[in-house]
């Protein structure tokens, strides 16, 4: 029996409806959540993400301060803009769109963001708090994955989760979040990567597989057990002459084959992707509430 599809678009839409209600209630109290966005250069994927973020802010009633800077922007000018946003009371969250042009120091830029406005959850202060199990902004994609699991009725506590990928954006923070002693945690976690000796052995032990390797068909049907839950984080562009764009997007999982064995699976696109911006907006609203003393 084929797997049930985890509809990330619908779950994200449900969460945004909840957030829209919350924003409306905050506005009645004179509180308007604000998000400042900085895009340096003209990377097409980054531009697309920022446009989607702008539409989402408008939809929810969140104030958006968008700043598009030329690719040759200096480190000094970029830091100066971040410092302005750090002190701007209308801005509750700051997003610096990555990747940055190569001449800019990404680490220094992220460090410049006030941790109380770090709605991406990348500042070392927030990463440290997350590791220690303290309240902090959680990175958006990992947090979105946990929301997908919880809202789909997947039992995380006591489950064996195998994460394929160890990036700072997904693999590492997600592993930490899943082992925390709280709701959405208490899992047993195995992290696999390019030096894992027998990947198929590890993935066949999993109750939940989270594929975040950035390589098509990393997870095939012979690598999973019957009834597994599969979350596909990968977004890979492959040539497709039948498409108007000349390409199509696929994940890290052999979807058609694996869905015949899995109990639940996310598609690509339409699975994890819609959750990332949603969790960014969630963090922005939480930041506004915290700044106003509402939490």
Residues 6+ apart with CB under 8 A from 98: 46, 106
In the prediction, which pLDDT does 81 show?
98
Find the helix or strand (DSSP H, E) in which 16 lies.
Answer: helix 8-28
Q: State the catalytic residues.
A: 53, 97, 120
- Is the pLDDT at 295 greater than 70? The verdict is no
Written out in words, the top-level CATH class of the domain with range 31-114 is: alpha beta
Task: Tell me the C-alpha distance between 54 and 50, whole Å.
Answer: 6
Mean pLDDT (the chain, rounded): 95
Give residue 47's pLDDT band: very low, low, confident or very high (50, 70, 90): confident
Residues 6+ apart with CB under 8 A from 195: none
User: pTM for the whole thing?
Assistant: 0.94
Mean pLDDT over 81-95 rounds to 97
Per-residue pLDDT reduced to its tens digit, 17-36: 999 999 999 999 999 999 99
Give residue 1's pLDDT band: very low, low, confident or very high (50, 70, 90): low
Pick from 82-91, 96-105, 218-227, 236-245: least confident: 236-245
Written out in words, the top-level CATH class of the domain with range 140-273 is: alpha beta
CB atoms near residue 105 (< 10 Å):
13
Task: Tell me the C-alpha distance between 56 and 73, whole Å.
Answer: 27
Mean pLDDT over 119-145 rounds to 96
In the prediction, which pLDDT does 237 show?
81
In the prediction, which pLDDT does 24 show?
97
Task: Tell me the C-alpha distance between 171 and 259, whole Å.
Answer: 22
Which two three-digit tokens encode residue 55?
A: 């539409």
Same fold, 31-114 and 140-273: yes
- Is the pLDDT at 191 greater than 80? The verdict is yes
Query: Could you tell me where the beta strands, DSSP code E, fall in 110-235?
Result: 160-164, 188-192, 208-211, 229-232
Mean pLDDT over 275-293 rounds to 95
Sorted by where each begins, the domain ranges of the chain are 31-114, 140-273
3-state secondary structure 128-149: HHHHCCCCCCCCHHHHHHHHHH
Per-residue pLDDT reduced to its tens digit, 142-156: 999 999 999 999 999
Identify which of 250, 160, 252, 174 has the alpha carbon closest to the alpha carbon of residue 211: 252
In the prediction, which pLDDT does 28 show?
95
Identify which of 87, 85, 88 has the alpha carbon closest to the alpha carbon of residue 96: 85
Q: What percent of the chain has pLDDT over 90?
A: 87
Residues 114-136: b if buried by 16+ CB within 10 A, e if exposed: bbbbbbbbbbeebbebbeeeeeb
């Amino acid at each position: 029996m084929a797997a049930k599809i985890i509809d990330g678009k619908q779950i994200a839409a449900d969460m945004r409806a909840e957030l829209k209600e919350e924003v409306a209630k905050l506005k009645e109290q004179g509180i308007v959540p604000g998000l400042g966005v900085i895009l340096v250069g003209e990377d097409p994927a980054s531009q697309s993400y920022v446009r989607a973020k702008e539409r989402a802010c408008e939809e929810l009633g969140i104030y958006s301060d968008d700043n598009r800077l030329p690719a040759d922007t200096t480190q000094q000018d970029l830091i100066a803009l971040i410092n302005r946003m750090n002190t701007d009371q209308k801005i509750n969250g700051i997003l610096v769109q990555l990747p940055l042009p190569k001449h800019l120091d990404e680490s220094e830029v992220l460090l410049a963001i006030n941790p109380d406005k770090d709605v991406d959850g990348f500042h070392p202060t927030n990463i440290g708090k997350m590791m220690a199990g303290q309240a902090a902004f959680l990175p958006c994609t990992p947090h979105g994955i946990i929301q997908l699991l919880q809202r789909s009725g997947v039992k995380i506590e006591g489950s064996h989760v195998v994460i394929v990928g160890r990036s700072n954006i997904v693999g590492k923070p997600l592993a930490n979040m899943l082992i925390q002693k709280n709701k959405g945690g208490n899992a047993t976690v195995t992290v696999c990567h390019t030096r894992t000796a027998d990947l198929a052995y590890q993935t066949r032990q999993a109750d939940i597989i989270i594929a975040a390797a950035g390589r098509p068909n990393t997870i095939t049907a012979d690598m999973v057990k019957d009834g597994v839950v599969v979350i596909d984080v990968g977004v890979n562009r492959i040539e497709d002459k039948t498409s108007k764009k000349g390409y199509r997007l696929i994940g890290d999982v052999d979807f058609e084959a694996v869905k015949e064995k899995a109990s639940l699976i996310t598609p690509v696109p339409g699975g994890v992707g819609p959750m990332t911006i949603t969790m960014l907006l969630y963090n922005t609203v939480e930041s506004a509430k915290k700044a106003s003393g509402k939490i």
